[in-house]
Structure 1
């Protein structure tokens, strides 16, 4: 029976559905549930063996699946559990159990950062050293530090939620019907030069 189960799973992993497996192996309809249970057990546990008792070691199939998952993660740690489960033809819950419990892995969110390539880092380092050498001689008396910020002083337009109540579109006045492409705004500029304010606009 164990050999028969392994054959069923082998066909399942090759993309055969349950009806095709029944025909290929010439399994009578009276044993149809056996095929269904075998495939479902494999999808849930990654094994074709009966459910292990307490303290019983993991099956060879589970150990093999653990190695396969470890290899997938090593090659591409950003691959989702859902995609791996689909590729390996196992249930998502089984794969999550292997990843968290057996492999001791956790899921972390990617963070948005300003990416600096090796060339960009080298340029920044070169320029920084040049500024240090320059200011070591001239000092900071004539260095202007500035920043600016653009503030919109009108309410932002939300295409999804901004609606107008009216009986017909033709009765809506231009004041409410149209939205300007460019909103009114104010630019705030600030500069500081050697302990005194250089400008504010």
Structure 2
């Protein structure tokens, strides 16, 4: 547990370093295949340098994904990040939720992250952004023996009202599991909803009045 929180500080340093690099290289990235507009946001896997990837690999975090957000959210709207847990086909239960201030926000390839550290019967999660990080935990069935982790791999453009499923972890009591197709990141596979256990990290663009719906 103590090791986990120590690693969070390293993650923040890495995020700051990568975000600075993204800003310095923004002129080179103007040729992106998906241009954002005033009514859309681009969500894209972050490209880490070899040194940054080496740091990540040495941190000991079990599962992680880094992604960037590019575009503008108007006043009265928010990007809402949440962690939803599914158990044995039951409806998903929101374990964590975080949203913006509600003021106008402009994201310039801002680096965000999601990490999972698995301990005995407990999964510790962290959602990182240029402003800092939020953390929490959720209990896991002790009989889980195999896991599959899927994460966003291609750039996707979203509009207000849409959800992107950034990453999910599926756990099973079986020794072997089949990979799940995560190509459509705007749709959560039924195999996740009906899994013995699943942790889903998702991002939604909402009006403020919708945040707690």
TM-score by length of 2: 0.17
Compare relative contact order (CA 8 Å, sep 6+) and give the higher one, 1 or 2: 2
TM-score, normalised by the number of residues in structure 1: 0.18
Which one has a bigger Cα radius of gyration? 1
Select the structure that is richer in strand: 2
